[in-house]
Amino acid sequence: MGPVSAKADVRRAARVRRRGLAADLDREAAAEAIATTVLRIVPAGARTAAYLSLPEEPPTGRLVDALLEAGHEVIVPITLGDFTLEWTYAAHGAVADVARVARGTVPEGTAVLGPEALATCGLIVVPGLVVDTRGARLGQGGGCYDRALRHRRPGTPVVALLHEGEESEELLPLEAHDQLVDGYVTTSGRLVWLRGEPPG
Ligand SMILES: Nc1nc2c(c(=O)[nH]1)N(C=O)[C@@H](CNc1ccc(C(=O)N[C@@H](CCC(=O)O)C(=O)O)cc1)CN2
Ligand SMILES: Nc1ncnc2c1ncn2[C@@H]1O[C@H](COP(=O)(O)OP(=O)(O)OP(=O)(O)O)[C@@H](O)[C@H]1O
């Protein structure tokens, strides 16, 4: 089995697992735990890339607000039709807007920063369905973050958010374009760093 169909199988299983984990999650506690842990590792004053979570994803609402309250600028993605990510500033209390997560729709009146905006961030928080012990991650399958992460400054920490139980002991199929994450934070607020020392 090649890496592409192997990924499709793992992704399918991970989506089913996520549905169950999300149904049992105390979202408020998870949102708080994620915010607390990420705030501990964000470099002082750093602009931070995050995303606005959908209902089954680890919740990012408290994280975005806490970063803003601590004086960080926060940018979140807009997905173009070809899966390129552009970026826009997140506001306090922002919630996921399906139109923003879907492809090819830029909400009217939104100030859009180009893909290079990622190079101005000191911490990058990414979505993912599963991460292995090397930092290989599987996302929605658009390759959005594999493309986007090439714009980051070398050495910028990349951290995925996972439900507790979504890390993979087995190595995920890896393709040449796959960008590794440096660590992950779970819905329990557990930080796992996979390479070097965590920032902050
Ligand atoms: N909250 C959140 N925002 C995020 C992501 C994410 O995983 N979570 N993304 C992480 O990468 C990007 C969006 N990724 C996308 C990946 C695939 C498709 C996609 O293929 N959409 C299909 C319809 C799919 C469906 O109906 O289920 C399409 O447009 O044809 C769209 C967006 C950026 N924003
Ligand atoms: N740098 C790139 N340039 C062009 N195509 C790419 C690039 N990176 C990934 N792709 C394409 O995107 C598709 C999906 O890749 P992959 O399965 O690794 O997605 P993913 O990492 O799970 O998704 P995402 O990054 O959106 O969360 C693949 O068909 C791949 O060829």
CATH of the domain at 103: 3.40.50.10420
Q: Is residue 199 in a domain? A: no
Domain range holding 141?
3-193
Residue 144, ligand 1, Cβ within 6 A: yes
The residue whose CA has the least distance to atom 7 of ligand 2 is 147
pLDDT of residue 99: 61
Q: Residue 93 domain-assigned?
A: yes
**CB of 96 closer than 6 angstroms to any ligand 1 atom:** yes
Has residue 69 been placed in a domain? yes
Within a domain: 110: yes
Q: What is the pTM of this model?
A: 0.95
Residue nearest atom 25 in ligand 1 by C-alpha distance = 102
Structural domains in the chain (count): 1
What integer pLDDT is reported at residue 26 of this predicted model? 98
Residues with CB under 6 A from ligand 2: 7, 138-147, 175, 177-178
Q: Say whether pLDDT at 106 is over 90.
A: no
- Give the Å distance between the CA of 179 and the centre of ligand 2: 9
Confidence of residue 31 (pLDDT cuts 50, 70, 90): very high
Report CA(140)–ligand 2 centroid distance (Å): 9
Looking at residue 161, what is its pLDDT? Answer: 99
Residue 102 has pLDDT above 90, yes or no: no
Give a yes or no: residue 198 inside a domain: no
pLDDT at site 95: 86
- How high is the ipTM of this complex? 0.92
Q: Is residue 146 part of a domain?
A: yes
Tokens at 33, concatenated: 């735990």
Choose the residue to mutate in 7, 79, 98, 110 for probing ligand 1, maximizing ligand atoms within 8 Å of C-beta.
79
Label residues 30-56 b or e (16+ Cβ within 10 Å = b): bbbbbbebbbebbeeebbbbbbbbbeb
Residue 84 lies in a domain: yes
Q: Quick check: 126 and 176 in contact, CB under 8 A?
A: no
Which ligand lies nearest to the CA atom of residue 147 in the structure? 2
Ligand nearest to the backbone CA of 57: 1
Distance CA 98, CA 41 (A): 29
pLDDT of 96: 85
Confirm whether residue 139 is marked as ligand binding: yes
